[in-house]
A and B are shown apart, each in its own frame.
Chain A
Amino acid sequence: MSNKGARGRLPARFSAFDLMRRRRSWPQAWRERDLKSTYDVVLIGGGLHGLATAYYLATNHGITDVAVIEKSYIGGGGSGRNTAIVRSNYLTPEGVRFYDRSVKLYEELAVDLNFNVMFEQRGHMTLAHNDSSLRTMRWRAEVNKLEGVDSSVITPSEIKQLAPYIDVSDHSRYPILGALWHPPGGIIRHDAVVWGYARAADAAGAHIHQNTEVTGIDVEQEKVTGVTTSRGKISAPIVVNCTAGWSSLVAALAGVKLPIVTRPLQAAVTEPVQSFLDPVIVSGSLHVYVSQTARGELVFGASVDPFGSYSTRGSLDFIEGLAGHVLELMPSLGRMRVLRQWAGLCDMTPDYAPIIGPTHVGGFYVDVGWGTYGFKAGPAAGESLAQMIATNSIPELIAPFGVERFAAGTLMGEKGAASVGH
């Protein structure tokens, strides 16, 4: 994009040199503002999706009279709790195209935002332990290649070369037959992404209101007119629901019902050890995935909890099951200690694909249904939403993800690529 270079030349704001020269604390990265009584656009939810949309509205379209309304603190939802996996090796061509755009934006993001988001493209490996998953891997690899995404099926000996600590012998309970290998996939520093977008959106003129809850959405004659918040009323012709796990509750304020169930997703992290694991490893059959952070901790995750809930309390069931599965994959981790576990809320759709676009209430848009896989989607979702708002038309990239697909019966079928490997 043409406007990238200029922003990339800004002086570094967070260098050690700068700290010494300054001899005082760094300036606030985003400001606290008074709540105005009217905005052009209100984005509900100060997670990655709300903040990225504010940023692209300002930088790509010059729309800066924008408020991001966050009931708690920015990044306090899924955006600060995820396991930060970024990849585009999905199953449906529509999904692959969309997530690939996001990977491309992530590749440029540190320069774009002038903020180190620590995107490490160390490769993403999905193991196959039986014929049917190997068949799905082949299918995915072909769909990926057709869309120009680097993705292929590799053999156990190639797996061993890329990740020597994995047990690829045929003595294990679930022998590994092969894997889907996706070199551009990797992990990122999720908080940095949130903060980088927040700082850039603020600098471009958007208002970020933390500790402000949307308690009502005003609708007149099937058109949105504004929102009621815990700090007062705002009138706005365009309101976007970017509240992920809470999105059903927020949509209900506007009289919109969604095909979403909120399920907790848990994750855990070990004490840090010396770096030994380069790629991200996912095993659908063992319901587990693992990556090693730059700091050396192992980050583990699994599938969503077995029942719907808005509670973010971790469970013993989870950590017990996880430990067992991790050890089947890497028996040598037996003496590692888990430091903490946590949970976040995921807005699950029946087809494991998002819901982006207009609703039956004019001016009220949704960007929800991000389930367990929406962090990687933030840049492309924000860019597309901003384009949709600015041009009042639906960009091709997100057209397949409208809510009307449920009434039309044209569901996406992304489950095979999204239920364990987020």
Chain B
Amino acid sequence: MLLIDCPYCGPRNGSEFAWQGVPSPRPDPASTTPLEWRRYLYEEDNLAGWVEERWKHRSGCRAYLIIERHTATNEIRAVRLLGGTPL
């Protein structure tokens, strides 16, 4: 079970958050090839180790977060707001 320290709400149960995985840069639809686009859609690094993922505090403040988590131990070492400091 995860405990996620939301910058707005403080430590909250992981079940309040929606996992969105490791974001990868979206290719420009105007210039990308179908193959590149499908790679973007489907292929995953699926690393066992430290990753930077996007989560959403779905049942809380609804902020998007970037979380550094170890995928083999589920340890979390950093939580920050997507896009930097709060408004």
Contact = CB atoms under 8 A, between A and B. Distances in A.
B64 to A, nearest CB: 15
Contact of A258 (B2, B43, B47): B43
Summarize A's interface: helix, strand, loop or mixed: loop
B28 to A, nearest CB: 19
Contacts of A306: 15, 18-19
A346 to B, nearest CB: 12
Contacts of B47: 248-249
A258 B45 CA distance: 8
Nearest to A314: B1
Interface of B: 1-2, 13-15, 18-19, 21, 34-35, 38-39, 41-48, 71-74
9 nearest interchain CB pairs? A307-B19, A248-B46, A259-B42, A310-B72, A310-B48, A315-B1, A406-B42, A257-B43, A311-B74
Given A257-B45, A259-B43, A310 B71 contact: yes
Contacts of A260: 44, 46
A309 B71 contact: yes
A329 to B, nearest CB: 22
A259 B38 CA distance: 10
Nearest to A351: B42
Given A317-B15, A406-B42, 8 more contacts: A248-B45, A258-B44, A260-B46, A307-B14, A308-B21, A311-B71, A407-B34, A407-B38
Interface of A: 246, 248-249, 252, 257-262, 306-311, 313, 315-317, 350, 406-407, 409
A220 B38 CA distance: 27
A114 B19 CA distance: 46
B72 A311 contact: yes
B82 to A, nearest CB: 17
Nearest to A350: B42
Contacts of A261: 21, 44, 46
A334 to B, nearest CB: 24
